[in-house]
Amino acid sequence: MFVDIVKISLKAGDGGNGAVSFHREKYVAAGGPDGGDGGRGGSIVFRANDNLSTLIDFRYKRKYAAGNGENGRGNRCTGKSAPDMVIDVPRGTVIKDSESGRIIADISGDEPVVVARGGLGGRGNMNFATPTRQVPRFAKPGMPGERLDVTLELKLLADVGLVGFPNVGKSSLISVVSAAKPEIANYHFTTLSPVLGVVSVHEKSFVMADIPGLIEGASEGVGLGHSFLRHVERCRLIIHVVDVAGSEGRDPKEDFEKINLELSNFSAELAERPQIVAANKADMASEEQIAEFKAFIESKGLPCYVISAATTMGTKELIEAAAAKLDTLPPVVRFESQPLSRAEIDEFQKEKHSFTVEKLDEGVFEVTGQFLLPILQTVDMEDYESLQYLQRVLRSSGIIDELERQGVQEGDTVSIYDFEFDYVR
């Protein structure tokens, strides 16, 4: 089964928490704080694997999570960082944010790409010792790893793409000019997935892709074309195969115009891609049909090669022309990653430190916020300096300001999950 688009969920590892610890050793008085830092959470990394040609493995496993970093320990021991999770995908896979459609990475090169970063480890209490605060009883929690839903789209890496209506001879053409062995039969949609073949020309070679047959309305989801038009996007050159004999009762000139319209509807940039027209099935056409069609194509400024894939007539000249044209064209298209917009960054930061303050009853307020949970776990509620640290967090995050805006009074009860305290100005 050929699968070229899937949606998966990624969760990078959380960083380990910093440790609260004090040095204990015989004959060493007041050893001081020695809580180590937490380890870094594992990131999720994607890399190209040329042994893969489809995304079918992702149909059966949709959630990927990297390991969390270890917590820090006493004696200034830093927690162990979690290993990165490496996910192999076929070369040419484009990774997009499922919600916004933003391109995160194009896995076309050999370098692995980090898509979801693991959280940094929290700092242990050894980092917070000062001449005036010699016994810090708090540490920082590890940062959460990135979590996101992504869409994987496989866009084949091919120099030349064969396009045209079903049953015009694309599979026959690629089978005679390369070692590819597509299924060939006299009915529509014989080819149900793209077929790649390497074509050699005078000690040079290029990759050709047989794209499953397009029909009218393909760009709107009709037939198979909508599913496979994405594979033409990277092609440097398009060979437009047309049944010049009109063996199925269609007008070859209308076929040519309809397919180009579908390409244009799918992508204006794709419609501008260089084209060579292959007038196939010439062995079944009259000289008048061939001459009329060739004149029509050349009037549009495009080269037209009369061929018969069944007898290999003219295929050598077509391939040599394609190789010569490729020498003048830029390399295979690579999609640039799209950075977050200013608005998206602001929204991300807002969500990262989001909280709610609700007045439950007269003199009772409840505060909730996911970022507060790890902080509460590392704060010693019986230690004055530790409580000062929590107070600074509440002040800097805007929670105190929101409480005051809602009318909190001195002596009112403020509840943060399992922790309650009386508000003091």
Q: Are 138 and 177 in contact (CB under 8 A)?
A: no
Cα–Cα dist 347/334, whole Å: 29
Q: Is the pLDDT of residue 277 over 90?
A: yes
The single residue listed with the structure tokens 């409480």 is 403
Give Cβ neighbours of residue 217 (< 8 Å, ≥ 6 apart).
223, 262
pLDDT digits (tens, 9 = 90+) for 128-164: 887 877 788 888 888 889 999 999 988 877 889 888 8
Give the pLDDT of residue 346: 61
The residue extents of the domains of the chain are: 1-154, 160-326, 342-422
CB contact at 8 A, 36 and 72: yes
Least confident of 212-221, 283-292, 312-321, 398-407: 212-221
pLDDT at 116 over 60: yes
Top CATH class, 160-326: alpha beta
Name which CATH class applies to 342-422: alpha beta
CB atoms within 10 A of CB 39: 26
Q: Report the pLDDT value the prediction gives residue 223, as an integer from 0 to 100.
A: 43
Q: pLDDT for 52-107, tens place per residue?
A: 878 888 988 999 999 999 999 988 899 999 999 999 998 889 999 998 888 999 99
The matching CATH number, chosen from 3.40.50.620, 2.70.210.12, 3.40.50.2300, 3.40.630.30, for 1-154 is 2.70.210.12
pLDDT at position 2, please?
58
Report pLDDT for 83: 96
Element (H, E) at 238: strand 237-243
Kindly give the residue spans of alpha helices, DSSP state H, lying in 67-179.
Answer: 170-177
What percentage of the chain carries pLDDT values higher than 70? 88
Question: What does the pLDDT read at residue 189?
Answer: 42
Q: What is the mean pLDDT of the chain?
A: 83
Residue 344 pLDDT level (bands cut at 50, 70, 90):
low
Q: What is the pTM of this model?
A: 0.70
Greater confidence, 392 or 349?
392
Residue 409's identity, in one-letter code, is: Q
Task: Specify whether the CB–CB gap between 98 and 42 falls below 8 A.
Answer: no
Please report, in angstroms and rounded to a whole number, the separation of the first and last CA atoms in the chain: 66
Here the contacts of 191-199 (C-beta below 8 Å, separation 24 or greater) are 192/2, 192/224, 193/2, 193/228, 194/2, 194/156, 194/228, 194/231, 195/171, 196/156, 196/158, 199/160, 199/319, 199/322, 199/323
Average pLDDT over residues 283-297: 92
Quickly list H helices, 299-356: 315-326, 342-352
Helix (H, G, I), strand (E, B) or coil at 63: strand
pLDDT at 221 over 50: no
Quick check: 233 pLDDT over 80? Answer: no
- Going by their DSSP bridges, the two strands 413-416 and 364-368 should be labelled as parallel
Q: Is 120 helix (H, G, I), strand (E, B) or coil?
A: coil
Q: Quick one: DSSP state of residue 125?
A: G
